[in-house]
Amino acid sequence: ATLGRNNYMYVDKNMAANPYFTLANEGNRGVFVPTSSITASNGVADWKGGRLTNQFGRVLELNSKGKVNQFAVVLDATWNYFKDGEISASYTYNDTKDNTSYNGNVANSATLSLPVKDDPRDLSKMSYSDNQFRNKVVIYGTSPSFYGFRLGVRYSGIGGTRYSLLAGGNINGDFVATNDLAYVFDRNNQTVPANVRTGLQTLLDNPNASQSLKDYINKYSGEIAERNGGVNDFFGIVDLKLSYQLHLNKKHSIEFSGDVFNFANLLNKKWGVNETLGNQALYAVSAFDTANKAYTYRVNNTGIVTPSGNPWQIQIGLRYGF
């Protein structure tokens, strides 16, 4: 277990202490600029309207309020068989929560990467970390040598990484358009605009959309999505290694080797790929209703996984030992 405390974080001090108003239709989300600073025709908030003083731009204060709670159980096993064959396996069960996953050296990026309900300076809430994963498996085996030949197989996989649902705009007026958690409107609530209800249902009915995203939307329907509340599935790859060692005498030898990385992808381009999601913008902001203090949204066609990862590779090696 690791309990990290006093991790550093930056917060904007030249920002209104309290919201100018709240969005009643989004769980009373606070907005830190007046309605006059939000363009009605496109819903773009001018963050400068919420500054305490116009003598400065953003004033980022370094503090030590970052926290992380990380717990892990690691199981390792090794089995030696026949003369020199070996199988090793490692399994990790992990749980990591924090109030900010910032771990860089650029102050501005600290405020860009922490999805929040409204106040980006509020570090009181712990949720799953950007570094969270649930399960990790590594299995490696080598065959006994047979007339100088050895075959090695390595499997490595990871699952349970996390991502967030974002609102798609600078909803809270804090300067950053990529740190606002989405409010997941209730599709069964008739007060929700019809285009949003229809858009969400269409997304849920889309067979190409990730089931992980659908579960995330259903879980937080009628409330602000939890930071890193989306859970990715488990994915892994297989690597192969074939080697042949030729002994020239007692001290000298030559080893020829061939590696195939991501072997399954060599057999089928749809195998051995990573089908995980990163942060998803659930909506796009199209306008702002000044009278009712409410943003107008359209639902994005999101949640369709783009396969990623390294394609298969072949490596040939020659080593001389003495």
Q: Give yes or no for a contact between 100 and 126, defined as CB atoms under 8 angstroms apart.
A: no
Residue 204 structure tokens: 């849920």
The residue among 140, 160, 162 whose CA lies nearest residue 150 is 140
b/e sequence 159-184, b meaning 16+ C-beta within 10 Å: bbbbbbbbbbbbbbbbbbbbbbbbbb
DSSP 234-249: -EEEEEEEEEEEEESS
Give SS3 for 212: helix
Residue 305 confidence (pLDDT): 93
DSSP 67-103: EEEEEEEEEEEEEEETTTEEEEEEEEEEEEEES----
Q: Give yes or no for a contact between 303 and 206, defined as CB atoms under 8 angstroms apart.
A: yes
Going by the DSSP 8-state scheme, the letter that residue 213 receives in this structure is H
Q: Give yes or no for a contact between 257 and 242, defined as CB atoms under 8 angstroms apart.
A: yes
b/e sequence 102-138, b meaning 16+ C-beta within 10 Å: bbeeebeebbebbbbbbbbbebeeebbbbebbbebeb
- As a whole number of angstroms, the distance between CA 12 and CA 120 comes to 8
Phi first, then psi: what are they for 189, rounded to 5°? -90, 115
Whole-prediction pTM: 0.93
Taking only the tens of pLDDT, the chain with its 322 residues reads 999 999 999 999 999 999 999 999 999 999 999 999 999 999 999 999 999 999 999 999 999 999 999 999 999 999 999 989 999 999 999 999 999 999 887 888 898 989 999 999 999 999 999 999 999 999 999 999 999 999 999 999 999 999 999 999 999 999 999 999 999 999 999 999 999 999 999 999 999 999 999 999 999 999 999 999 999 999 999 999 999 999 999 899 999 999 999 999 999 999 999 999 999 999 999 999 999 999 999 999 999 999 999 999 999 999 999 9
Residue 87 confidence (pLDDT): 98
Helix (H) or strand (E) holding 319: strand 313-321
Count of residues in the chain:
322
Residue 156 confidence (pLDDT): 98
Residue 100 confidence (pLDDT): 97
